[in-house]
Amino acid sequence: MNALPIQKPRVPDPRTLLRRAWAFNRPLTIVGVLMLITLAGTMVGMLVDPLVLTGQPAWIKPAKFAISISIYCFTLLWFLTYVRGYRRMVALVAVATAVALAVEEIIIVGQVVRGNTSHFNIATQLDGALWSIMGLTIAVVLVANLVAVILLLLQRLPDPVFAWALRLGLVVSFVGMLVAVFMVFPTPAQLSAAQSTGTMAIAGAHSVGVEDGGPGLPFVGWSTTGGDLRIAHFTGLHGLQIIPLIGFVITGLQVGWLDARSRVALVWTTGLAYLGLVLLLAWQALRGQPLLAPDTLTLGALLAIIIATTWSALAVTLRAHKVRSLIDDNKE
């Protein structure tokens, strides 16, 4: 029995995608486009404003968030086009995400204009209120992401290979969001200082073992002297694009003996390997270890992920080839 042909998804041109995005959900499309405009504004800010916050030019943070939010909006919108039969729920997920992310970027930009940091800042009542609102927006996006995962799990999409790539991409991005939870707790140094002074201006940090604002990688600012949870957070979030992209490639592989079941297994192998990498990066950061200075334990765990992924991929492809060979022999 011949395997059903695998259809490679077609990618329309950007203008067609934008028209479809606008027709499908205007709030997500508007926020995605506005973030690109915001990005241009932050570039101007970096050129004319010498303000430095936590060791970096102040306008880098809103620039990074503008890029990330725009990508997330358009990616989530694309994912939601695959959901059928839950129109109100899809609209709720899209609108809630768009509003929450827009509010978050507005606060980040507003705090830069005020000459203040946005994240973990509770120095004044206003700063604390804005940080609390940001925490609420993050929670809204997290819940909306989880609902999107559930909606996609309930779908019976025509191409199971690409369907699982979409689902696993959302699951990994959800885990990446959860990593941010570790950032919001006061550090031991902050708690110690609060006991001495009776006040706490900053509660939480991106870095582990060192203070935020120290030596870091260009633009992203990831710490080069201690752990940094933003690395796992960033990697997990962008599993939302990377895993479906890999699924797209696997779907389009011109290998006749690689059936749909084997392709799904390869997508699962990719998704689990990527999830393992996110968890490894979070574990490395929580131990106060810089990304570029892994210890033997971290390298050993990375090697284990690589070996397990390679072995699994080889096992799947060899099994698929063997099954196809047996089918061909029986025909003869």
pLDDT in tens, 134-152: 999 999 999 999 999 999 9
Structural domain boundaries in the chain: 14-331
Phi-psi region of 95 (alpha: psi -120 to 50; beta: other; left: phi over 0): alpha
pLDDT at residue 329, as a whole number: 55
C-alpha dist (Å) from residue 245 to 256, 277, 324: 21, 17, 26
Give me 183's structure tokens: 């950032």
pLDDT at residue 22, as a whole number: 85
pLDDT at residue 110, as a whole number: 97
Spans of the chain below 50 pLDDT = 1-8
pLDDT at residue 4, as a whole number: 41
C-alpha dist (Å) from residue 34 to 30, 69, 76: 6, 10, 16
